[in-house]
Amino acid sequence: MSNSIKYSSTRGGESSLLYEDVLLSGLARDGGLFMPEEWPQFSHSDLNEMQHLNYAELSAKIIRPFVEPCLSENELLNISKDTYSSFNNDVAPLFQLNKNLHVLELFHGPTLAFKDYAMQFLARAFNQALKKRAQKGVILGATSGDTGSAALEAFKGRENIDIFILFPHKRVSSVQQKQMTWINEKGAYALSVKTDFDGCQAIVKDCFEDLKFKDETSLSAINSINWVRLLPQIVYYFYSALKIGAPDKEIVFSVPTGNFGNILAGWMAKKIGLPISKLICGSNQNDILTRFFNNGTMERKNVLPSYSPSMDIQVSSNFERLLYEINERDTNKVKQQMKDFKSNGNFKITKNQLKKINKIFSAYMISDEETLELINKVYTDYSYILDPHSAIGYGAAQKALDNNIISKDMSVISLACAHPAKFPEIISKSINAIPKKTSHLEKIMSSKEHFNIIEPSINDIQNFIKSNMRN
């Protein structure tokens, strides 16, 4: 492997970019997503050595090959230490439900959701890169719930960055909205857009594809379309797997999945050496991914509101990265399939391609009714409260066990992606009790809201951004 990994667009328009260029670009100029041109490899002995590292040290160890030579070893370690200093002492603790099933708690950051693990890192990485270049930047992102609050929390108050977050009007939980809208600082804006998440995400992509607008605003992305958003998410797969027996045994991960970024980070962890035997994709009733992994057709339908709003998605934008690998990096195929999907709402892969990826991925849909039942069952059996998204990950793991996709003696880690206190209405509906809020969340919920309601118009949103950018 060379001393510095270079990056290319999934659609072939850009290649040989370094980490810093990819970080600040977000989306490739041809509309594609960036992927590494080669993958680092961690050996069995490397993984054994990792067992002795704390979370920040492990983060620096895993991310380092992807960011050289733009960040030195010391710079990266300092960013990692600073990123996770405000998290719980055990940054990503495991809760054991039974002999072979653990819940990985990814809600010990500032906004009580897994997005904090990447967003806090990303904000510091952006800040460092922009300072080096003596530049200012504009961040534009869309959120189905947790990304927006994590991003605004991480980027607020940074002098060289303005951030604008689009969220679907009346389609996020009351807690998720308040976590975004309580922030009242210059350069940090929450915009409630009269559409669903896919509509918000489409506006973001259209803004990036408007190269004149992108260039004049120095636009960049914090959604997981930004390659660097994914890197910190690989870390907790290694951290948790090493705790329960890797690299000497293989691990199964079950992941509640909407935009495909979190489970893709698991696939990346496997790609660079973590012994993962299966990745289980849990969907809610917006089951585009489950249908794809079952029949090989990606087909967009209408978004249906659910008890797990962060997963109310029918366009999993990160999937393009896996599609690039499925197509053996044939950028023309990817470009055509994404064109078909945008115009016709569907594309297909071959039966052989489907068979190959089903060796790694299995997928299951969990309905709203099942979600309530799962929250209740886990609470009754283990005195443990899952939020509705985490319940989908747990439920998908149970279905994989019931269908003999994984054996009962396999070690399974189910990702818990948000604190149950973020969804009190759903938890109460299931177990007739409201989870206790943290003191910080209590403060947020009693704060005044600051946000703008805006039409789903690219012109309106671009004009708002230009009018509110700090010079």
Supply the pLDDT for residue 1.
Answer: 52
Cβ atoms of 275 and 241 closer than 8 Å: yes
Strand-pairing partners, residue 415, are: 104
Count of beta carbons in the 10 Å neighbourhood of residue 169: 20
Cβ atoms of 34 and 17 closer than 8 Å: yes
Question: Which helix (H) or strand (E) segment is 281 a member of?
Answer: strand 276-283
Q: Cα–Cα distance between 67 and 79 in angstroms, integer?
A: 12
Is 99 designated active site?
no
Supply the pLDDT for residue 223.
Answer: 83
Indicate the domain borders of the chain: 94-111+228-431
- Torsional sign, CA 83, 260, 308, 92: negative
DSSP 301: -
Per DSSP, helices labelled H in 277-414 are 288-295, 319-326, 331-344, 351-357, 368-382, 388-402
The two structure tokens encoding residue 462: 């671009």
Query: What is the chain's pLDDT, residue by residue, as a tens digit (471 residues)?
Result: 557 899 999 999 999 999 999 999 999 999 999 999 999 999 999 999 999 999 999 999 999 999 999 999 999 999 999 999 989 889 999 999 999 999 999 999 999 999 999 999 999 999 999 999 999 999 999 998 788 999 999 999 988 899 999 999 999 989 999 999 999 999 999 999 999 989 999 999 999 999 999 999 999 988 888 999 999 999 999 999 999 999 999 999 999 999 999 999 999 999 999 999 999 999 999 999 999 999 999 999 999 999 999 899 998 989 999 999 999 999 999 999 999 999 999 999 999 999 999 999 999 999 999 999 999 999 999 999 999 999 999 999 999 999 999 999 999 999 999 999 999 999 999 999 999 998 889 999 999 999 999 999 999 999 999 999 987
Question: Considering only CA atoms, which of 202, 219, 175 is closest in space to residue 469?
Answer: 219
Q: Cα–Cα distance between 212 and 25 in angstroms, integer?
A: 14
Q: Which CATH class is domain 94-111+228-431?
A: alpha beta
Q: Cα–Cα distance between 123 and 120 in angstroms, integer?
A: 5
Q: Cα–Cα distance between 396 and 416 in angstroms, integer?
A: 13
Q: Cα–Cα distance between 35 and 28 in angstroms, integer?
A: 10
Question: Of 6, 61, 115, 278, which one is the catalytic site residue?
Answer: 115
Cβ atoms of 263 and 360 closer than 8 Å: no
Q: pTM score, two decimals?
A: 0.94
Count of beta carbons in the 10 Å neighbourhood of residue 249: 12
The two structure tokens encoding residue 57: 């040290």
Q: Cα–Cα distance between 55 and 154 in angstroms, integer?
A: 19
Cβ atoms of 175 and 421 closer than 8 Å: yes
